Amino acid sequence: MKEFVINRNDSGQRVDKFIGKAAPLLPKNLLYKYIRLKRIKLNGKRCEISTRLAEGDVMQLYINDEFFGGGDIASDFLYAPTSLGIVYEDENIILLDKKCGLVVHEDDSGAVDTLINRVKHYLYEKGEYDPAAENSFAPALCNRIDRNTSGIVICAKNAESLRILNQKIKDRELHKKYLCVTVGIPPKNADTLTAYHIKDENSSTVRVFSKKVPGSRTMITKYKVLKTDKSRNIALLEVELITGRTHQIRAHLAFVGYPLLGDGKYGINRINREYNIKTQALCSYSLQFDFTTDSGCLEYLNGRIFTLDGVWFTKLFESKNCAK
């Protein structure tokens, strides 16, 4: 039997969600069965899977040790560096400047050096995160960007902030803007583009269509031209996503004839080689908190805007050899 005292980061969760994290190897059919048989109890009594946990509650799990998992997976983050580009930090969140080339979460390569592992190690060294003291929570990223895209990533340092931010993102109360450099200059200084998007899992690319086709999803991309260099046929754009599809900016701009400089999937490799650039010139450079509903412990962030300087993009208009 294992007993868990519900702390602040565990509170508010449903019983089944908590058990899924505390005993990750327990199959769902057994979870339901053990609740019926009272082998899973809340405060010494039978509970329902939908019961919401409160701070101070006691969960008792009379289940085999094999369902709790083993090894020292929780401390793998200690092998990651602690170096981070911190844009902003307080007791609830960290805004991070993710550099090009760093993955946000572990991928198929199994690399330990990920953005989230760096955050965990950083907070561990500060004494703000100890996996041994947590039943089910770990610091978590609220948004993700591609390995070869740079920019602002949001990390929640506690469960309440994570729940709020995830809901705010879903309700579109956080606004992100991107900087990118295109090969080719759009004819309009500003426009809102609409197309249809299908993700191809086999090739890790997307296909774009001008009309709706079976299985496609609408994508809407808004852009504004900030700067142009007609002699080299490139433009600096500020882009805002009205929808959030995989590779949306890269695929959508390429579809209308203005691929991102450096993009190996949707761009023009001959021109990329001329500029000595091997990754897409794309950065999530601005984040605005624009809450219109209750924001709980994060109300103080409402109305605030955080930006990166985008200096690297300006250099594209100063020198032809623009290797990062």
Secondary structure (DSSP) of 194-208: EEEEEEETTTTEEEE
Is 57 considered catalytic here? no
List % helix, strand, coil for the chain (3-state, nearest 5): 25, 30, 45
Which residues contact residue 299 at a Cβ distance below 8 angstroms, ignoring those fewer than 6 apart?
291
The active-site residue out of 16, 76, 113, 146 is 146
Contact 267, 261 (CB under 8 A): yes
Contact 195, 255 (CB under 8 A): yes
Secondary structure (DSSP) of 103-153: -SS--TT--S--HHHHHHHHHHHHTS--GGG-SS---EES----TT-EEEE
Which residues contact residue 156 at a Cβ distance below 8 angstroms, ignoring those fewer than 6 apart?
92, 93, 139, 140, 141, 142, 162, 165
Tokens 């774009």 appear where?
208
Q: Which of 317, 250, 257 is nearest to 283 (CA)?
A: 250
Helices (H), the chain: 15-22, 28-36, 115-126, 159-170, 248-255, 269-274, 311-315
How far apart CA 199 and CA 230 sit, in angstroms, is 33
Cα 287 to its chain centre, rounded Å, is 13
> How many CB atoms neighbour CB 291 within 10 A?
17
Contact 178, 240 (CB under 8 A): yes
Annotated active-site positions, please?
A: 146
